[in-house]
Amino acid sequence: MATVQGILLLLTFIGLIVYCFRGGNLLLGFLAISVLWCVIGWVPIGTVVTDVFQKSVANYGATIAIIVFGAWFGKIIVDTGIAGSIIKKVVELAGDKALLTSILLIVVCTAIFTSAFGVGSVMAIGMIVLPIMFSMGVPKHVALSSYMFSVAGGMYLNIAYVSQFYAFFNVNYNENGYVRFALIATAIHVLLTIVFLVFHSVRAKTRGLARHAWAARITDSSSQVPVYSFIVPFIPIVMVAVFKWQPVPAFILGIFAGILLTKNMTSYKRVVDVMQKTLHDGISESGLLIGMLYGVNIFQAAATQVSPILSHLLGGIIPHSMLALVIAFGILAPLALFRGPLMIYGSGAATVAVLQALGIFSDWFLFGLFLIPPVAIVANTCPTQSWGMWGLSYAKVEPRTYIKTGLPWGWLMCIIMELLAYFTLAV
């Protein structure tokens, strides 16, 4: 009977993959497969109601708080003009050198996105950066890909982003040398992005391609802020990584520092207005993400209940070698595209459940394994990523061109990062 149940679980797993590939709503998909797995596994109704649908959501409250305050802090960085002022200063320093300006913009954007969070922040900063690159003659598909690379590069250190993985794994930002891994991964990501820009610059010159400056209008209307406010984006990371603060108080400190250092504390009303608007916008932009993460938690709880069945069916099939899995994930990295089986915020949630059901691999190993594809592949180059869809529409770039431009580089990043995670987090 366990074999029949296991086969049914795998068939529904395949159904979830197909559903995600076709762009189905993830929250509904996770809720539906959670119910199906509980039915197939004959999970008692009391356990379904209490453990699967209630405790799984309630226990995720602390992480949701980190996401909310991270999104709020991200809006502070953007709305107070800190991000825009940093970018403008970089452009002034670089002058009219297109390649140098592009490289500096990518480095700075990566630094900003180590703390900025949410699709709204990506869009707001993108509407400053992309027109600058277009106006210097950087091809639109190259500019868009390099900007998305910079967004993804900041995620390794981004506390709000990393905390989302707490839904799957019992890990912590300050444990097991994670910060060291994240710093190395960020440096490698930035270096490969710079190589990407240099490659396309040299390629254009070699082929004798003309550089066309686009008549693009910079849509940033923020006022210039004091240079000393440029430290604000890095306050939460420093407080968490160096002083071992918890994320929420670190974000609160960053929020008030951002308001203070940008001279928005001129009156009580001004402080209230800035705080209310940025908090409202940050939560609004994170609402769908939070709903999806709740769905993921419910599904993970359902998967835990049927894990003995999956272990019985797959225990002798899936390789038990960690290095073999790392190599397989590197080779199969494009399967993270379109919410595929290597994308944890998609059908990959079921892949995690299957591997966890075996009871062989540690949380830190699986965390490193599944952290990389969403960053190196999806955030970099997937058209179904929310900011990817915005970027394609804004830059008027075809999805096929976008994937063709970024995927080879994202694939290389994924292979390198998987090996890095293996040697620094798992071994």
Q: Residue 43: which region, alpha, beta or left (left: phi > 0; alpha: psi -120 to 50)? A: beta
Amino acid identity of residue 48, one-letter, is V
Determine contact, residues 67/167, Cβ cutoff 8 Å: no
> What confidence tier does 208 reach under pLDDT thresholds 50, 70, 90?
low
Phi, psi (5° rounding) for residue 226? Answer: -60, 145
* CB 367 within 8 Å of CB 171: yes
Report percent pLDDT > 70 for the chain. 95
Which one, of 9, 223, 186, lies nearest residue 106 by Cα?
186
210 has a pLDDT exceeding 70: no
Length of the chain: 427
Distance of CA 345 to the CA centre of its chain: 10
Q: Cα(369)–Cα(425) distance, rounded to whole angstroms?
A: 10
Residue that is written with structure tokens 């406010």 in the block: 229
119, 386 contact by CB (below 8 A): yes
Q: Pick from 341, 310, 359, 299: which is nearest to 30 by CA?
A: 299
3-state helix, strand, coil in the chain (%, to 5): 75, 0, 25
Would you tell me how many other CB atoms lie within 10 Å of the CB of residue 191?
11
pLDDT tens digit string along 298-350? Answer: 888 888 888 788 777 766 677 778 999 999 999 999 989 877 888 888 778 87
pLDDT digits (tens, 9 = 90+) for 217-275: 444 444 578 999 999 999 999 999 889 899 999 999 999 999 999 988 889 999 999 99
* C-alpha to C-alpha distance for 422 and 396, rounded to whole angstroms: 38
pLDDT interval class at 366 (50, 70, 90): very high
What single letter denotes the amino acid at residue 300? Q
Q: In sequence order, which residues have a C-beta less than 8 Å from that of residue 151 and are 6 or more positions away?
A: 109, 110, 113, 122, 379, 387
For residues 268 and 276, the answer to whether their CB atoms sit within 8 Å is: no
Alpha helices in 262-321 (DSSP H): 268-314
| Centroid of chain to Cα 358 | 27
Count CB neighbours of 316 within 10 A.
7
